[in-house]
Amino acid sequence: MAAWGERLAGVRGVLLDISGVLYDGGEDGGSPIPGSVEAVARLKRSRLKVRFCTNESQKSRGNLVGLLRRLGFDISEGEVTAPAPAASLILKERGLRPHLLVHDGVRSEFDQNDMSNPNCVVIADAGEAFSYQNMNKAFQVLMELENPVLISLGKGRYYKETSGLMLDVGAYTKALEYACGIEAEVVGKPSPEYFRSALKEMAVEAHEAVMIGDDIVGDVGGAQRCGMRALQVRTGKFSLANTSGEAVAR
């Protein structure tokens, strides 16, 4: 325990990944990971600042928070950093009009964006909406642009649901990158902008913060590159094979 005390000396803020750390999603809504509801409650009773940092891009923040509250978590929308609202702001700042390749559950996050005559594609974890037809439409939109812009909400390889491992947005982003000969811009973990914006919202410096996640690249690697400390949990998509750095992102 002395070792833990040293490792966490000076920590003022805790960033918690959601999927695989607080709960495993699933068609039935998913289920909390044992002990996590109480762990969040204890953190919130402590002197530490807490922020929920997710790459969830199938659900709007409102839907995600509603689900987590029903599972017993003490969480509110204002405490969540998620890629879709961040992407919506970036699109407006840059005058980008998105063609959306996303799940219906997250579409409302883009209500303020102009969708006419698209000049970029936004790809998120679309799940079942990753049909050939929808992928091909996004591909064709990109191929018709002089300077194709592809914005990817995260670059996760897969995540865990109660029914098993599920392909994440990163795999489909790679498909479009290869087909179009372009590189996507990532909004979400592990991009440094994402972690910096979460730290700013907590008013905590990087060296005072610890990221807790199940993903060795998206959570642990990304946070460490920003000067934060990081802990990998052994739940979610964690497996011994992943400790070598083969896992990625949600």
**What phi and psi, each to the nearest 5 degrees, are found at residue 99?**
-90, 125
Minimum CB separation of residue 130 from its own copies in Å reads 4
Task: Report d(CA 109, CA 236) in Å as an integer.
Answer: 26
C-beta of 4 vs 178, nearer to its own copies? 178
Minimum CB separation of residue 238 from its own copies in Å reads 14
**Does residue 24 interact with its own copies by CB under 8 A?**
no
Interacting positions 174-203 with its own copies (CB under 8 A):
174-181
- Candidate residues 73, 110, 172, 195; the one interacting with its own copies per rule CB under 8 A: 172
DSSP class of residue 113 equals S
Q: 229 and 223 in contact (C-beta within 8 Å)?
A: yes
% helix, strand, coil for the chain, step of 5: 40, 20, 40
**Does residue 162 interact with its own copies by CB under 8 A?**
no
Minimum CB separation of residue 219 from its own copies in Å reads 17
Task: Report d(CA 209, CA 125) in Å as an integer.
Answer: 28
What residue type is 215 in one-letter code?
D
Interacting positions 69-128 with its own copies (CB under 8 A):
126-128
Task: Report d(CA 118, CA 239) in Å as an integer.
Answer: 40
Interacting positions 123-142 with its own copies (CB under 8 A):
126-133, 135-136, 139-140
Only one of the segments 14-22, 71-79, 105-113, 173-181 lies at the binding site for its own copies (rule: CB under 8 A); that segment is 173-181
Q: Let me know the angle formed at the C-alpha of 109 by 103 and 115, rounded to the nearest 5 degrees.
A: 85
Residues that bind its own copies (CB under 8 A): 126-133, 135-136, 139-140, 143, 157-158, 164-168, 170-172, 174-181, 246
